[in-house]
Structure 1
């Protein structure tokens, strides 16, 4: 076995014998299994094993995969124990014969290869499966190898990257194989407890015990285009319960639509995406260059007297201006290395909430927020920023991941409220919001929330239970929309202006009341008039609010955050007593 796996990312050194000729063999021409077109072998290799005609991602052997993903100089890890035949199993051939033939054909000890190295400079341990070895089945050797790879990652404080391909648990090893689901799941749980990032790359196919253990337990689950993953395969489903399956069932595209994986990542982008995730996850949080220099004016306004009075209804109209920057606009202006992580992992996907790790003005954070859009098509697609339960559950998942990795959480709030539809109620809207409120309030990492447009009701509060809460100068924050309040209490929707004033929805009123800690100034004419200037102001204000929180004791953060929100209620009581007096 070589001491260094690769000389460059396209040509593995000391490659194992018996490799499939599909992407990396010596054959001059390879017939694509997807479109049946003959592809020139060197061209297919240059294209990372992706058919240039139909885009099919051909299977890669572990050495080629490691060469593509890891930096040069990766070192093989001897993670595999001695092979076993615990049952003395024989079907049409003895299990020992099958193992011998698989080793001869692939040059591998078993269906997984482990290596240590770096991706874009970030230290990792990689475990890469090979479907050619008995269908990539999960047996004692594979389970133990993955567990040892996780232990190596734990010892070296490295991230763990798993490239999965499997038909399921290895039948020839009976219950011994089944137990490997528990072995690998517990190994990943130790990395969770240690705060180390785990990433799964799903390749075609990934089924059974692998899908129901380490392939889906990772913090981030990516899949190559067209890769299939599930517990029971289509053939099993169709033969056992005679169920008609929808087109594209269990493909990567199917899975991301249903919130079961974080994204579909073409092979050409995979190394870049992994590099970004690993870089943000391991970087220490510290203020970047956006912090104002000593002697300059603060980026955020904390004195209500410094804000000009504004008609409450005009604030409402300004907050709803479709020209205002959205979350994705702000990220494009002030963030680097943002990678969106999708889905709630429970079968739901909600485009009204967007989130993922990024560098906010140079500071590694987890960004989460509402996404409205600008035009009719995007507004409809994003449900006008009104999130369903899957959106709030996705937010909770990302908050917990941020806490695990020690990343501060930055949320941008812009929603009329949570989605009020029947489907949202059927899926547990109230419970999803309640969980989000509770989890954000208990996070043991610094949190900053900014209401950038509309802050409507519990749908907004779910992302705003933070250490520091701010509003943009022309944003609004309220328990209900002025129209809703007018209809309920005045019995007249036309009383919306009166209701807006009574609710005190504007930034100046909310700052005076202590509901928010600061106000982010906007350029002349509002954020929509100059989105770039607005983004710079917001970027600097967030870093200014976040900077004092970095390095704080987690218990202190949680206790102070809880006290902050309780204190708002106490202030309300004091204001009531003053009014009565």
Structure 2
């Protein structure tokens, strides 16, 4: 195995002309300024292509990169010739690039943290994936697995290399199985997809990362747009196959401008690194005895829980945690459900996965977030993040605040019940600590989909119910006017829920409620979360699952009902 240093570039190569025309907006750009902005147009934001050397120089710590397996070279196994023989095309590409093939592999650091990088060069036969390109990506994955350090794959590819026939096609399987091994071992894989990323790349290594990042405007897809037009005889929608289009379709976690890539990559590496120290928790204000919890009229509680000023999941993500990186999409192309917010975060020295329902503080945001009522693909996204927590051994923290799952025609067509049921089933077997907090409305199965936890907590002015009071009143009392009466009888208050064993503790709110002092509320939630996570930290995975099983298996059992009756005497 050969190694050689990769020089970090401080200036990007180009023509001697002082001016150039932007391929995005057509404006004339001063070359020196354009190069200083990392070849991003300072008028329209168009991201021009970078060479592999430029890309690595932009991302990696100075002097940290060490190239490996640079001597692998492709062989013409088929005697292929189009307008030129394949060996001639290879020789020309090798002369232009200075590399034997379209992939450059390095070990390096970003922010002082190690990673392995496999970067594709579109300038080498369109970044096409042949036998050597596939082998290099596979070797990079094997090195990441052996050293248990993250793998970054930077894609710029037209797809599989036709000049190598079925040998090229088999590289999709080769690289796919290597990423599967990384997933099973809990080794982070990150995709950075740049313009363009197509064909065999997207059908294998370019979309299998734990985190998928794309540059603005990057064209990403399986079949090229011209092939699609010719096949279906239809005009394609605006921005079709752009990074932004894919983000809206739920297939990309984030679209990041080039200038922020290095900082965000460093954040991801830091949050997946072994913790250096975990802070001792402060004394928890959690109320766990029914006598500590004040009673409130259920109808008044419902109004407080629905107050538009109450902190949302996004607010808690920003104020409770030291850092938060949102991960978007369900990866199935259904969409990016704005009623669910989730990602990875750090608190008290621990990295956790956070998932929560998201409402809003004004009518526009409420409408955009569907009033916190998820579609099936929102729950699929939640389950994807639950899997993320399990794979990396991160505790899971969920925030529950929803009137319920969205009751629409499309939701039913897409399997709303199944999506909720799969979340409930999956949460029950998670081998990590799970803490759920009802922060506002806990509406039916749409809430429970995020609530199968080792510790279920509720804020002082929140409620948890099998159905909304209005729904109960309509069904049982024949109209919604008896919602207050229904709320009382449903036993939805924190005091009642604690007595019934549905929740394990009540989180006190500041005077005037959470909306009166959201900062104080966030501080309290932070203390409670760190305290409960510290309590669960010593539990083995099997014990966590067994504990969760016993908790929910016991609710409503004959023994549970007997205990409640005895306590009521």
The TM-score bracket by the shorter chain reads: over 0.9
1:299 is displaced (CA, Å) by 2.4
User: Structure 1 residue 324 and structure 2 residue 310: aligned?
Assistant: yes
1:450 to 411, 431, 437: 437
With structure 1 as the length reference, what TM-score do the two structures score? 0.94
1:64 to 43, 48, 54: 54
1:80 is displaced (CA, Å) by 5.9
> What does residue 6 of structure 2 align with?
5
1:515 to 502, 506, 509: 502
> What does residue 338 of structure 1 align with?
324
1:238 to 229, 235, 240: 229
> What does residue 41 of structure 1 align with?
31
Superposition pairs for residues 163-562 of structure 1, below 5 Å? 163-284=154-275, 287-288=278-279, 291-292=281-282, 296=283, 298-348=284-334, 349-562=336-549
1:136 to 119, 122, 127: 127
| Count of matched residue positions in the alignment of Structure 1 and Structure 2 | 565
The separation in 1 between residues aligned to 2:278 and 2:493, in whole angstroms, is 29
The separation in 2 between residues aligned to 1:187 and 1:464, in whole angstroms, is 34
CA 1:55–1:516 in structure 2 vs 1: closer, same or farther (change >3 Å)? same
The separation in 1 between residues aligned to 2:491 and 2:277, in whole angstroms, is 36
The separation in 2 between residues aligned to 1:286 and 1:419, in whole angstroms, is 42
The separation in 2 between residues aligned to 1:383 and 1:407, in whole angstroms, is 29
Does the aligned pair in 2 maintain the 1:281–1:407 contact within 8 Å? no
**Cα RMSD after superposing both structures:** 1.9
CA 1:10–1:76 in structure 2 vs 1: closer, same or farther (change >3 Å)? same
1:85 is displaced (CA, Å) by 1.1
> Tell me, what secondary structure is at the counterpart of 2:343?
strand
Does the aligned pair in 1 maintain the 2:102–2:124 contact within 8 Å? yes
1:34 is displaced (CA, Å) by 1.8
1:560 is displaced (CA, Å) by 1.1
Give ranges in structure 1 of 5+ residues lacking alignment.
13-19
The separation in 2 between residues aligned to 1:114 and 1:28, in whole angstroms, is 33
Q: Deviations over 1:466-516 (max 9, x none)?
A: 111100111100100111111111213111111111111011111111111
The separation in 2 between residues aligned to 1:580 and 1:307, in whole angstroms, is 16
1:286 is displaced (CA, Å) by 6.7
The separation in 1 between residues aligned to 2:327 and 2:134, in whole angstroms, is 27
The separation in 2 between residues aligned to 1:308 and 1:34, in whole angstroms, is 62
1:575 is displaced (CA, Å) by 5.7
With structure 2 as the length reference, what TM-score do the two structures score? 0.96
> Tell me, what secondary structure is at the counterpart of 1:187?
helix
Give ranges in structure 2 of 5+ residues lacking alignment.
none
Q: Deviations over 1:222-262 (max 9, x none)?
A: 11010011110101111223222111110011101111111
> What does residue 16 of structure 1 align with?
none
1:53 to 43, 58, 62: 43
CA 1:100–1:452 in structure 2 vs 1: closer, same or farther (change >3 Å)? same
CA 1:135–1:386 in structure 2 vs 1: closer, same or farther (change >3 Å)? same
1:579 is displaced (CA, Å) by 10
1:26 is displaced (CA, Å) by 5.5
1:402 is displaced (CA, Å) by 1.3
